[in-house]
């Protein structure tokens, strides 16, 4: 069993003992999302820690999107609930990368592609640069931010 799932189960027990309904329901939802991912596909399997991080990151993203929709719909109480759930789930994810850290990774990858090509890459090589950046920021950085930084570095 991967470490995140263990931490979630331990946290569920603690939330139940503390009678923290919001935390309990959020952790249960996260465990259910991981369980659903484990049985998705042709055969049941155990997820790696990286895959568990991806599931939790996807759940955090869903909560943030829902909060935005509730805010746009003038339902701040529901938006607040969604953001609280996202905060609880984010505790189980690794520390996110800052924009400066993502920019440093982008610079390294642009330099790597430039040395491979023998010249400064252009927008045509954006895919090659993103191919190097994406796995390095997986689960810890925003792909949209990285893409914008790559565009500005190449543009």
Q: Is 85 helix (H, G, I), strand (E, B) or coil?
A: helix
Residue 1 has pLDDT above 60, yes or no: no
Cβ atoms of 137 and 146 closer than 8 Å: yes
Cβ atoms of 107 and 149 closer than 8 Å: no
pLDDT value for 93: 87
pLDDT value for 151: 92
Q: Output the pTM of the full model.
A: 0.72
Cβ atoms of 121 and 113 closer than 8 Å: yes
Domain borders along the chain are 3-90, 99-154
Q: 154: pLDDT confidence band, cut at 50, 70 and 90?
A: confident
Average pLDDT taken over every residue of the chain: 91
Fold of the domain built from segment(s) 99-154: Arc Repressor Mutant, subunit A (1.10.10)
- The matching CATH number, chosen from 3.40.50.620, 3.90.180.10, 1.10.1510.10, 3.40.50.300, for 3-90 is 1.10.1510.10
Q: 17: pLDDT confidence band, cut at 50, 70 and 90?
A: very high
Cβ atoms of 150 and 133 closer than 8 Å: yes
Q: How far apart are CA 79 and CA 67, in angstroms?
A: 4
Q: 3: pLDDT confidence band, cut at 50, 70 and 90?
A: confident
Q: Residue 128 half-sphere exposure, CB side, CA atoms within 13 Å?
A: 17
């Amino acid at each position: 069993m991967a470490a995140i799932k263990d931490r979630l189960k331990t946290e569920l027990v603690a939330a139940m003992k503390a009678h923290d309904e919001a935390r309990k329901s959020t952790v249960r939802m996260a465990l259910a999302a991981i369980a659903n991912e484990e049985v998705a596909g042709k055969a049941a399997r155990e997820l790696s820690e990286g895959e568990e991080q991806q599931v939790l990151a996807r759940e955090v993203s869903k909560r943030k999107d829902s909060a935005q929709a509730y805010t746009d719909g003038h339902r701040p109480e529901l938006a607040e609930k969604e953001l609280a759930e996202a905060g609880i789930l984010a505790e189980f994810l690794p520390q996110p990368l800052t924009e400066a850290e993502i920019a440093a990774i982008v610079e390294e990858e642009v330099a790597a592609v430039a040395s491979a090509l023998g010249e400064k890459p252009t927008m045509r090589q954006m895919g090659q640069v993103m191919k190097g950046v994406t796995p390095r920021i997986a689960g810890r950085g925003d792909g949209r931010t990285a893409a914008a930084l790559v565009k500005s570095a190449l543009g």
